Chains A and B, each alone.
Chain A
Amino acid sequence: MNRTILFMVLCSSAGFSAAVNAGDLTEHSSQKLTMHFAGSGAHTLEVRDVEGNITVEAYDGTDVEMTVEKSLSAQNEEEMRAARHDVVLDIGDSASTIHAIVRYPNQQTCGGAGGFTSHSGYHARYDFTIRLPRTVRLQLCTINSGVVLVSGTTGDFDVSNVNGRIAMTDVAGSGNAVTVNGAVAASFVSAPQRSSTFRTINGDVAITLPDSTSAVFHMKTLNGHLLTDFAVESEPESAGVVRESVGGLSMIRTNGFTTVRTGDGGPELTLESLNGDVRVMRRSK
């Protein structure tokens, strides 16, 4: 009993968030890298994870400082060997893009078409903590057991999660933040200048924008409320109509967004949930 408790304490202190069964083998390692962009064009950070957090924080430097906490857990020694061998972290920098991609054998990486099936005998968790220059564009993707946290960046973003939330704090730029099970929260120091999407299935969507924002919000939820404290006006434009024709039968569908405008209108921000509220809030000073 005591040994089990001690074991579990050790495991949790090493930072596991995945469920650990008694008898699991675990292994932990940590890696710190500093990477550089080259070239003068737009710089992009691409992180594709499977299991684990991605935490990105902007700073006023030129390098990318990346800490990777790798945690393997397996049912037995053989599985542990497989975990060590199969899962590869592919890190590289090639001029304008720095990437860190978790690769499983015979599988797509996060974001690839066709989905992902996890191996049952082991878990390979990678938690990324990254400091990077403010203007870098973000391509962040994870699937299980992780959250994506972004703060202070101003570059455009494409953030994707499945079983976990997304939180972006004090950011700028345009892009998409989409997850399935988890909230999407984003607070902007300056409003997106181009069309952006914030979407989840199960969870609230909440974005905060400067008071002076001029934009069009397309808001939709099935089970939840649409809320804002911006002064808005109803806007007849809506996000799309689909026409379908099969034999002699034709069908037209609208897609049920509530569209409102704040200020003089502007970039189209789409906020959508299925089971959750959608909030657009003014950034209080």
Chain B
Amino acid sequence: MKMLVRAISCAPAFLLCMGGATQENASRISASFSDPSSPGLLHVALVNGSISIKGSESRDVVIGTRAVHLGAPKQDQKGPAVMQELPQQSSIAVVEQSNRMSIAAANPSITTDLEIQVPNRTSVQLSTVNEGDIRVEDFDGELDVGSVNGAITLSHVGGSVLAHTVNRPIVATIWRVSADKPMAFTSLNGLVDVTLPSATKANLKLRTDNGSIYTDFKLGSLTGPSPSAEYAGKDGPLLRMEIHKTAIGTLNGGGPEIEIRTFNGNVYVRKGK
């Protein structure tokens, strides 16, 4: 009888029961690529929840689920006590084949916050929808990140970036730009603030529909309205361009295209070191 009961309760996760359970700490799981010496591809998609990535020199991908946030106690509907509701955890599935790894939450309706350490030089694709901030820190590799209702924050990343979100800002500080790769940072209702290394060679395409464009780079071959008076930014003077069309200009003679664009919000292109 117990076997029957166990089989019923395990039905949704049949493999779970067939495999052996180890006492591994499930809040930090280590996963590896089939060939750790070759660059891998990591794909993470969540419907509810946020993703934080940290680059590392280790060859493994380490996935952590953030500690549960304990809510405030409130009156229990079914009894006299004042009870605290605990948040539920979704179970996570990690699948890997031929250096392509995919992470997803088994129950998309439970908010799952993932903290993942990723080897540098991995190609990373992230997608979130709700409660879906995307944060990437100290990572060098290829980033393709998108959200609907999440803010995108990329701190000290190197490589190439494609980023888009709908209702939130994008803030990126890039310390190294891959020589021949295009980049794009686009939002609908959010500011886009990108810091690039001062020696970056690129063709910039900047656009906002309702907002202003600010930069402290000197753009060459600028097409589009000329910059108007200087504006004092917190780190020094920024040129400000009041335009509602695309401004195209070159940085340091030109190079691959970097598109920085929003519809409602300001665009900031800052000169880093």
A–B touching in complex (CB under 8 Å):
yes
Q: How far is the CB of A111 from chain B (nearest CB, A)?
A: 5
- Is A252 close to B, CB under 8 A? yes
Q: Which residue of chain B lies nearest to A143 when distances are taken between CB atoms in the complex?
A: B1
- Is B91 close to A, CB under 8 A? yes
Contact with B along A111-154 (1 / 0, CB 8 A): 11111100000000000000000000000010100000000000
Q: Which residue of chain A lies nearest to B69 when distances are taken between CB atoms in the complex?
A: A234
Q: Do residues B84 and A229 form an inter-chain contact, with CB atoms below 8 A? A: yes
- Is B229 close to A, CB under 8 A? no
A234 touches which one: B13, B70, B83 (CB < 8 A)?
B70
Q: Do residues B96 and A250 form an inter-chain contact, with CB atoms below 8 A? A: yes
Q: Do residues A253 and B16 form an inter-chain contact, with CB atoms below 8 A? A: yes
Docked pose: A220 CA to B110 CA in angstroms: 12
- Is A207 close to B, CB under 8 A? no
Docked pose: A222 CA to B87 CA in angstroms: 12
Docked pose: A84 CA to B20 CA in angstroms: 45
Of the stretches A17-25, A26-34, A68-76, A240-248, the one at the interface is A240-248
Interface size on A, residues (CB 8 A): 58
- Is B98 close to A, CB under 8 A? yes
Q: How far is the CB of A107 from chain B (nearest CB, A)?
A: 11
- Is B72 close to A, CB under 8 A? no
Of the stretches B26-34, B134-142, B147-155, B188-196, the one at the interface is B26-34
Q: Which residue of chain B lies nearest to A279 when distances are taken between CB atoms in the complex?
A: B83
Docked pose: A253 CA to B264 CA in angstroms: 41
Q: Given the complex, which residues of B lie within 8 Å of A162, measured CB to CB? A: 1, 4-5
Docked pose: A257 CA to B21 CA in angstroms: 14
Given A111-B2, A254-B29, A277-B78: A229 touches B95 (CB 8 Å cut-off) = no
Q: Do residues B5 and A258 form an inter-chain contact, with CB atoms below 8 A? A: no
Docked pose: A219 CA to B84 CA in angstroms: 13
- Is A225 close to B, CB under 8 A? yes
Q: Do residues B86 and A227 form an inter-chain contact, with CB atoms below 8 A? A: yes
- Is A282 close to B, CB under 8 A? yes
Q: How far is the CB of B6 from chain A (nearest CB, A)?
A: 8
Q: Do residues B31 and A226 form an inter-chain contact, with CB atoms below 8 A? A: no
Docked pose: A13 CA to B9 CA in angstroms: 37
- Is A15 close to B, CB under 8 A? no
A178 touches which one: B5, B24, B89 (CB < 8 A)?
B5
Given A110-B1, A282-B81: A236 touches B27 (CB 8 Å cut-off) = yes
- Is B25 close to A, CB under 8 A? yes
Q: Which residue of chain A lies nearest to B1 when distances are taken between CB atoms in the complex?
A: A111
Q: Do residues A249 and B25 form an inter-chain contact, with CB atoms below 8 A? A: no
Q: Do residues A220 and B88 form an inter-chain contact, with CB atoms below 8 A? A: yes
Q: Given the complex, which residues of B lie within 8 Å of A242, measured CB to CB? A: 15-16, 19-22
A227 touches which one: B83, B95, B97, B110 (CB < 8 A)?
B83
Q: Do residues A249 and B27 form an inter-chain contact, with CB atoms below 8 A? A: no
- Is A86 close to B, CB under 8 A? no
Q: Which residue of chain A lies nearest to B91 when distances are taken between CB atoms in the complex?
A: A256
Q: Do residues A248 and B88 form an inter-chain contact, with CB atoms below 8 A? A: no
B4 touches which one: A115, A232, A250 (CB < 8 A)?
A115
Docked pose: A114 CA to B78 CA in angstroms: 37
Q: Do residues B93 and A251 form an inter-chain contact, with CB atoms below 8 A? A: yes
Q: List the interface of chain A (C-beta within 8 A of B).
A: 108, 110-116, 141, 143, 160, 162, 178-180, 199, 201, 204, 219-222, 225-229, 232-234, 236-244, 248-258, 260, 272, 274, 277, 279, 281-282, 284
Query: What 7 additional pairs, Cβ within 8 angstroms, besides A240-B23, A252-B92, A256-B107?
Result: A116-B1, A160-B1, A162-B1, A237-B25, A250-B95, A250-B97, A251-B94
The 4 closest A-B pairs by CB, nearest first: A256-B91, A238-B26, A240-B21, A236-B27
Complex A-B: 12 CB contacts under 8 Å: A160-B2, A236-B25, A236-B27, A236-B67, A238-B25, A241-B26, A242-B16, A244-B15, A249-B97, A255-B91, A272-B9, A281-B83
